[in-house]
Structure 1
Amino acid sequence: MATTNFHDLLVRQVGHEFAASHQYVAVAVWFDGQDLPQLARHFYRQSLEERNHAMMMVRYLLDRNQALAVPEVGSVRNDFADVGEPLALALAQEQEVTDQIKALFAAARAEDDALGEQFMLWFLKEQVEEVASMTTLVNIASRADNLFDIENYLARERVGDGGHGRHGSAAPEAAGGSV
């Protein structure tokens, strides 16, 4: 079966999602090492959510009988000077993923691939939520008087939910099941 631009972009996106998952593990480990358990917990959950996104894409490709070689994942950043750096990195990462998802949707539309277009709609909605919650976290951190204000905020408020409960029945199925 010949591949299309949408197919090629989607296979690459699987790699981007796994890379985001790895980066969020690195961020979570850094927060854990700084004795910031709420931030660590948040990013461990974010890592699982990104992994689930990759596996949703894998399931879609398998269900459409399309070729897939799981892409390599590059290196991650592990060292940060302060709490703001990993949060800014996470926000930039979510904004980049949003651009990637928009390009996938546009490619499906350009190829008159209604199934691909419909599949990407859920991810577009998800990215609006991801960017909004990461923007909120960056804003809270910039206004906090101390790190415990951020920790208390995360303990008190729901900033994302790690993909549990929010995805609901409209979410695409993940290959092997969601974690």
Structure 2
Amino acid sequence: MGNNEMNSKFYELLQEQVRNELNAERQYVALAVWFDREDLPQLAKRFYRQAVEERNHAMAIVQYLLDTGHQVEIPGTAEVRNDFTEPAELIELALEQEKQVAADIESLAKTAREEDDYTGEQFVQWFLKEQVEEIATMSTLLNVAKRAGSNVFEIERFLDREGADAGPDPTMPPVAGGAL
């Protein structure tokens, strides 16, 4: 691996993406705790699970960095928002967060391609697919929340009915320390 590849923009962005994914994890924990406090167990469960997913994404990037001989630094995380008034507000924040992550992943793919890093570009492909799924799921949940209005139990019923976890994705890249 040449020195040029070790100092590439792609690897700088990957390191930043570890931080982004860990920030998303913390924010999802905050959302889950809010839902838990409001006695909305299905929403809480959904966002606790989402937090674990974001952690696994960060650790998959860590594993890739390790596998490609790069120095990995685990960053601190940013402040999270904890103050909300209604479920739709939290879901809107989550949707915006997923859209931002999608833009970050697209930037990673573009940078890998510009730098002729075919392995890096291949690695990022799974994350591109994952973000399409994440945005679609969160968009649906937001639509349900908006339709439910003040009857938050309709959201709970929807998640109870539709919210079955598909289980681990066998195509996901390896996760440092193993996926949770």
- Give TM class, smaller chain: over 0.9
C-alpha distance after superposition, 1:81-107 (max 9, x if no partner): 111111100000000000000000000
Match of 1:19 among 20, 23, 43: 23
Counterpart code for 1:5? K
TM-score (ref. length: structure 2): 0.94
2:67 counterpart of 1:63: yes
Equivalences for 1:150-165 in 2 at 5 Å?
150-158=155-163, 161=165, 164-165=167-168
Residue 177 of structure 1 corresponds to 178
Distance 1:90 1:58 in 2: 23
Structure 1: gaps (5+ residues): none
Distance 2:48 2:111 in 1: 32
Counterpart code for 2:127? F
2:145 counterpart of 1:141: yes
Distance 1:82 1:147 in 2: 9
Q: Percent identity?
A: 52
Counterpart code for 1:157? E
Distance 1:164 1:52 in 2: 13
Per the TM alignment, residue 59 of structure 1 is displaced from its structure 2 partner at its CA by: 0.1
Distance 2:167 2:76 in 1: 26
TM-score (ref. length: structure 1): 0.95
Equivalences for 1:14-163 in 2 at 5 Å?
14-145=18-149, 146-158=151-163, 161=165
Per the TM alignment, residue 164 of structure 1 is displaced from its structure 2 partner at its CA by: 2.8
Counterpart code for 1:119? F
C-alpha distance after superposition, 1:124-144 (max 9, x if no partner): 000000000000000000011
Per the TM alignment, residue 156 of structure 1 is displaced from its structure 2 partner at its CA by: 0.5
> Which runs of at least 4 in structure 1 moved beyond 6 Å after TM superposition?
none
Distance 1:6 1:75 in 2: 26
Per the TM alignment, residue 70 of structure 1 is displaced from its structure 2 partner at its CA by: 1.2
Distance 1:122 1:156 in 2: 28
Distance 1:149 1:45 in 2: 20
Per the TM alignment, residue 158 of structure 1 is displaced from its structure 2 partner at its CA by: 2.9
Structure 2: gaps (5+ residues): none
Counterpart code for 1:164? G
User: How many pairs were matched up?
Assistant: 175
Per the TM alignment, residue 174 of structure 1 is displaced from its structure 2 partner at its CA by: 0.2
